[in-house]
Chain A
């Protein structure tokens, strides 16, 4: 069967989006695209970034091979010049003709240039394509003064670009009595004006340009009030003009003031011809923004695939993208009393102006304007769009915002899952949350890839971040800044508070600094802080129930509900006798054994009830807890070193054992690992550890902040040729600095990645003691080291704690009968998850 042939005129943002959407929905179309520009569709919204070093390729919306991969025929620099609707044919500039079943106009718009005598002179530009920007930047090299006609969204952007290009004297000429007349009111405009003046822009309102004078090249602008202004160059940004000329020429209906007339199916007066994006006129309106354009693309693509979608208008809320100046308008921004109640907040000193329009019954937010501080923009927009009932004092919406109302994520919980967060790509709150929970997105980039949210205008990014952090929190995963609903502090703040107030139990901390009952986020965090500070037995003082299951039972819980047993084997060195003990214990309690990646032996499959007796036997034979369950020191791996190896420079095994015994049991924001290699061949893989040590001719090189795991990162060299004592001193300081300041569940590598100043700063702190903390830290870590006790020894010797290691409170001798093992290679393994029916 012959495929339906669709021809798209225009390879701009909306035309491209249409191809992408159609291809993702169906393979049953032949797509041919004609572009007038010489480039593949690019991101016009971020066009100004071309001046900040982005290349045309960076701005491109697709890769060079995308169209081919998608089986789309793309012609560039080949505009359509004529359409014959009777024969359903288009004629391209290269002289060839093509037939279509459906024709799509995505011709966008051009800059509107008013008929001022002299606009054709050299040095007068528009601001729409990459070519325009190339011409402007070339010309700006020779120019000292410049002007922009138009004080709207685009005009301001163009003016800022001129300043960035080094034009010191830049003027903005606006015909209306205020700036951004479509978005903001007079008071807001005044505030904005003073902000722009600070940037060095000269603003002229109520100015009507009557002619552009100069000899072939612009020299000055003449205004209706008989004044003039000498300029070397001019950018005209007075609005847009839909590209409807082709449609008009072939008899398709267009609006009086331009634009191809479409219905809610994006259909023109000819049923086989459609128009989308900035060339389409819907309900008397040209939508000069990207989000409505993308929505039109979606509507048309869906309908061609036998869907049933309608375009019913679109929210025109916008935010200015200039760095350093916040301007936003949302919802019904101009509605005034008596049709609503208006609340205005103005702070001239700080340059903040906020206005919100509230329904007369005080229930709903209708719209508003924000200047100087638009952090609340996304949340306010959501409040309008989702008709969220306002709090009793709606003014808190704008006052509260200044103390970070949005950044702490408050409010996003109240949004329904269907709330549209990214309007460009049509991504809802539910989509973003499930990207985090179900598709394991761990950062903004993952979410962008997965959902496309934030890849259009980018305005929703702060909100996407908040949602991400919020979802992390509810998963108990990674918590930024404020710990959870029960503690209004960061980890670091709480660390200091607990320290100063000398608190020793979770309940005390909750009573003093928290509220309600706590949860699975703050409990283990506080328990870890208590352990880092005091190094007391973690199961005492009621702190046992504030621990993750692994810490609470001093063993890692495994699939099925059994536990693993990992004794410490410092430096990986073990005697034959001890190997035999491990073998005997494993045999006696029917445990699976495996050599771990950390140079020790793991015994899996222990029943909760058996843990104390297993450990009793191990301890009697001289073993101690390996803390495989805790956020603390894991292993210090070693290579065999100078005692046996022909290349070994120093005794790496002895040094590894010394280090492992020094830091064992110390709790930190996350686990930390180490290794010591006897020479640069690096058999212990020290450079992949949180701190790693490599022998040199003269001493030890110390590396820090390395990581294996899912995002491997090599450790960085902190200091060279250290003697053994100095090396340990630096590690002491390094560890205490990490323990005190890292966010929860942050490994040293991530901690360093976020540290301003990076490794140089860290080196300064650790080696040069730039914070003046070294002495205190060395003392603190000494206290931790001297208070070390084997937790398992304490647990088996304390009847109250020991009693907790039974499965049934009313049948302490019985083991959990539901745990199932199966045979594998002569050992046991745990049975597979029983399939779940619900999730």
Chain B
């Protein structure tokens, strides 16, 4: 059993979008959850793009550059590393990233950032 004081039960695996993102509500907060099926990896980041403070990252396209998994904001295509949250388009801003784990068909997101 997963301890729900530290982990948020976000959704079932089949509710997540393969090779894309969904947005998860955690109280006042919005978290973008990505199921990178090609790499068989899960990532979670803040949903807000720091560029223009838009709640948009979950609607962005994911992909990789060299081997770094990334998401591109749908608004102005700034890209962010899904691993570290670092902005890959050369801007001085980063996004928060959260741990993700799967337990019994449920996707859990860590309540505090990595």
Contacts and interface: CB of A to CB of B under 8 A. Distances in A.
B51 A818 contact: no
A552 interface: yes
Contacts of A433: 90
A55 B70 CA distance: 52
**Residue of B10, B19, B91 most packed against chain A (CB within 10 A):** B19
B7 interface: no
A814 B63 contact: no
B21 to A, nearest CB: 8
Contacts of A839: 50-51, 78, 91-93
B56 A561 contact: yes
Nearest to A552: B59
Interface in B51-77: 51-56, 59-67, 69-70, 72, 74-75, 77
Contacts of A559: 52
B20 to A, nearest CB: 3
A523 B20 CA distance: 12
A129 to B, nearest CB: 46
Interface stretch (A340-348, A374-382, A801-809): A801-809
Contacts of A783: none
B33 A809 contact: yes
B17 A808 contact: no
Nearest to A511: B38
Nearest to A527: B61
A542 interface: yes
Contacts of B54: 560-561
Contact of B64 (A518, A545, A550, A560): A518
A384 interface: no
B59 A549 contact: yes
A548 B56 CA distance: 12
Contacts of B24: 808-810
Nearest to A557: B74
Interface string B1-42: 000000000110001111110111100001001001011000
A185 interface: no
A517 to B, nearest CB: 4
Contact of B55 (A561, A835, A836): A561
Contacts of B72: 476, 519-520
Contacts of B38: 507, 517
A433 B75 CA distance: 20
A559 B36 CA distance: 27
A553 interface: yes
Interface in A802-839: 804, 807-811, 814, 816, 818-819, 833-839
B22 to A, nearest CB: 4
Contacts of B66: 485
A814 B27 CA distance: 12
A544 interface: yes
A835 B54 CA distance: 10
Interface in A558-613: 559-561
A807 B51 CA distance: 20
Contacts of A768: none
Contact of A542 (B16, B19, B55, B77): B19
A546 interface: yes
Given A485-B66, A836-B51, A836-B52, A544 B25 contact: no
Contact of B61 (A548, A811, A814, A834): A548
B23 A809 contact: yes
Chain A contact residues, majority secondary structure: loop
B46 interface: no
Contacts of A837: 50
A618 B27 CA distance: 34
Nearest to A550: B74
Interface in A613-652: none
Task: Assign chain B's interface to a size class.
Answer: 35 or more
Contacts of A835: 53
A475 interface: yes
B93 to A, nearest CB: 3
Contacts of B10: 809-810
B11 A517 contact: no
B93 A816 contact: no
A606 to B, nearest CB: 14
B112 interface: no
A549 B72 CA distance: 10
Interface residues of A, number: 47
Contacts of A804: 17
A403 interface: no
A206 interface: no
A812 to B, nearest CB: 9
A418 interface: no
B77 A808 contact: no
Interface in A495-510: 507
Nearest to B34: A545
A516 interface: yes
B97 interface: no
A544 B20 contact: yes
Given A523-B63, A549-B74, A807-B23, A838 B55 contact: no
Contacts of A834: 52-53
Nearest to A522: B63
B56 A810 contact: no
A787 interface: no
Nearest to B59: A549
B81 interface: no
Contacts of A836: 50-53
B55 A818 contact: yes
B56 A545 contact: no
Contacts of A550: 74
Nearest to B50: A838
**Residue of B22, B59, B70 most packed against chain A (CB within 10 A):** B59
Nearest to B72: A520
A776 interface: no
Contact of B11 (A545, A547, A809): A809
B69 A517 contact: yes
B92 A838 contact: yes
A224 interface: no
Nearest to B21: A545
A816 B67 CA distance: 33
Nearest to B18: A542
A523 B71 CA distance: 12
A808 B23 contact: yes
Given A517-B36, A523-B61, A548 B93 contact: no
A753 interface: no
A519 B75 contact: no
B8 to A, nearest CB: 9
A439 interface: no
Nearest to B54: A561
**Residue of A433, A519, A550, A560 most packed against chain B (CB within 10 A):** A519
B51 to A, nearest CB: 5
Interface in A736-776: none
Contacts of A811: 25
B59 A557 contact: yes
A836 B52 CA distance: 5
A561 B73 CA distance: 12
Interface string A463-479: 00000000000111000
Given A516-B64, A519-B61, A838-B91, A814 B74 contact: no
Given A548-B61, A809-B10, 19 more contacts: A517-B62, A517-B63, A518-B64, A519-B70, A545-B18, A545-B19, A547-B61, A548-B74, A557-B59, A560-B54, A808-B23, A808-B30, A816-B23, A816-B55, A818-B55, A834-B53, A836-B50, A838-B50, A838-B93
18 contacts: A437-B90, A475-B77, A517-B69, A519-B61, A542-B18, A544-B20, A549-B56, A552-B59, A561-B56, A808-B24, A808-B30, A809-B10, A810-B10, A816-B23, A816-B30, A836-B51, A837-B50, A839-B78
Q: Which 4 A-B pairs have the closest CB atoms?
A: A545-B20, A519-B63, A549-B74, A838-B93
